[in-house]
Amino acid sequence: MNDLYESILIVGGQGMLGHALTDLLVSRGRRPVVVDLPQIDISDPSAVKKLFADRRPTLVLNCAAHTKVDLCEQEKEKADAVNGYAVGLLAGSCKSSNAVLVHISTDFVFDGRGRRPYLPSDPVNPLSAYGRSKLLGERELQKNAPARWLIVRTAWLYGRHGLNFPRTMVQVGQAGKTLTVVNDQVGSPTYTVDLGGAILDLLDSGASGLWHATNSGQTTWFDFATAVLEEFGVKAEISPISSAEWAQKRPTSAIRPGYSVLDLTALERRIGRSMRPWRAALADFRAAVQRDGF
């Protein structure tokens, strides 16, 4: 067995991506240890120190995050603690124990004013408390960097476990309510199974550093919602709305980037394959949830 996978620790393992990574690793014959709240608070230095002493990981996959983007505007300190400084704690412990760290970041580190897919090297300028906290996490990791680390930025994530955009669209549509969805934000919906596969492929390739990983292609939230309803056979009224109109209706909501498509060139070259289109991934998601129950 590759020494890298001798002792795998998935932090935030009860979330969407944590579940997907666990399933993928188990399918490869690995036995990851999964931890999450309330078992571990990664913003507590003593808890992180004890976790590493007890588990002695060789690989840490950090999927933990305060991901409620709008709530982060009211909970900035909590967002910075979990998404920012806690990443530095994990990085420092990985450095001390010679473990590899993979940390998941976001397209929200960009301001969305570009009109071509963002390269990992492009300048960052987050617009929201969530985006700023995630950028803080990236910087805290690099400040306390272990010998090998990966930051993997992704976008518009959904999966079989937990709340997510497709699940909400289906449930609201099935309830007979009218859907109103933003039509001027462009990005790449990303299925947790495909992101997890890309992360493991990066690790297997010996990669380190900063990477972008999503499904390929791009769409708007409105068109994504329309595709979800079509995929699940849900008949519902759906109407587009602009970001400006949404902000008037929800003045406390966070500002999202208008364009946050991530460039996959470096990733696809490194792992030796293309990421599949988001629409094909959505069909697999539908098949999975219909098989396992919504």
C-alpha count within 13 angstroms, C-beta hemisphere, residue 58:
11
216 SS3 class: strand
Do 278 and 217 form a contact (C-beta atoms < 8 A)?
yes
Query: How do strand 149-154 and strand 100-106 relate by DSSP bridges?
Result: parallel
Catalytic residue among 5, 130, 191, 259: 130
Q: Please work out, in degrees rounded to the nearest 5, the angle formed at the alpha carbon of residue 257 by the alpha carbons of 252 and 263.
A: 155
Query: How do strand 186-187 and strand 219-220 relate by DSSP bridges?
Result: antiparallel
Do 224 and 189 form a contact (C-beta atoms < 8 A)?
yes
d(CA 20, CA 14): 10
Residues 6+ positions from 240 with CB-CB distance below 8 Å: 180, 181, 182, 183, 222
Please give the structure tokens belonging to residue 14: 């009860």
285-294 contacts at long range (C-beta below 8 A, 24 or more positions apart): 285/158, 285/159, 285/160, 285/166, 285/191, 285/193, 286/231, 286/232, 288/160, 288/193, 289/160, 289/167, 292/160, 294/167, 294/170, 294/171
Per the annotation, the verdict on 130 as an active-site residue is yes
d(CA 208, CA 185): 30
Q: Please work out, in degrees rounded to the nearest 5, the angle formed at the alpha carbon of residue 56 by the alpha carbons of 52 and 59.
A: 95
- The catalytic site residues sit at 130
